[in-house]
Structure 1
Amino acid sequence: MNREGINVDPQGRVAIVLVRARNPLNIGAAARAMSNFGFDDLRVVNDYDVPFAEARSAIDAAPVLAAARQFGSVADAIADCTLVFGTTALGDRRLQHPVELLRDAGPHAQAARMAGGTVAILFGSEKTGLSAEEMSHCHRLLTIPMHRGGVSMNLGQAVAVCLYELARDGAAPRTLPEEARPATAAELARYETLLREVLVTSEYDRRFPGNMGEDALRRLVRRLALQGDDVEVWLGMLRQVLWKLRQ
């Protein structure tokens, strides 16, 4: 469930399709990125079996890679999908599809998933990207904005960036720690009382009497934004300082 209370599973109904990937390391990197963000539907389109076979036989292959499926064509790989995105680095080629920045593709993908469909994201060959024929299977194209002078993005990196964008507004795969409880007014009052006692005992009040006003000290303590659990730690420190001053 996201911040707006909409029940959306960003990892569900999303297939990552690698088309003509030649480097087993890149296939493995894509699978690891999927595992990191909680996606598990990896599909590989390749008439050359060696890269996929080598990637799957790698030591400690991720469950995503072990469960990946191989297809003989793009059409077969996306047969059950209702929305197909192709990825492109733009360049000088003429494109016949709507092209969106990655961040703008999210609403289309969410709408398709909410309607019960499956979204496919196609990634092309490391060297040439998706061909015109492969793009013809896509409904839309998406691109990752990069610096104009930058080199092309590695396949594994591109998959990771796309999956992060899809997952970032959805349910977190790990439970985030609860926010710390702010100190109560009563806890702050105890802290102020002991702090004043330490300052008086150390004769700070004689040198800087202007800082010792009740209102001024109270405002100063509240600007510290102390957490409830930290108040006890600070009280222990101040008691130790006060004990030492009285030796």
Structure 2
Amino acid sequence: PSIRKRLATSPVALLFGSEKRGLSNEDLSHCHWLLRIPTREEHRSMNLGQAVAVCLYELARNPQAAPHPTKPILAAAADLERLTALLLDALRSSGYVKANPSGSQKRCSAAPTEEKIRRLVRRLQLSATDAELTLGILRQIFWKLGSAKAPAAES
């Protein structure tokens, strides 16, 4: 969703760094969106006041005048299913979610938690790139921990 849509329904914070150093990578990791203000080659930077003024002007101006950003390509259902399966394998391995007893057809007490995890992954509306990154992270965790059993999602 665009920042204008977010402003209409919930509070939004704009985070600006100092003029000398900007924002650290740690600061940036807490941000949902990153913004770059295009500048001319001969004047590559803005002072803090200018940057704040440009951002507030853009937020206050007519939303119809704003160009529509391109939407990221969302992850395919199959990728989300692989991600969910791998995440659930990790949660079972850690003991957060209890595995179904071997051969049991009954829904165990973990089923509601698994459903919540599945819905959470869908609600995230991950881009294809973010889904692939998350899959890579989970695979690396399994590999690094030396999982004796390959996760079901990899089968």
TM-score by length of 1: 0.27
Q: Which has the higher contact order (CA 8 A, sep 6+)?
A: 2
More helix per residue: 2
The higher radius of gyration belongs to: 1
TM-score (norm 2): 0.41
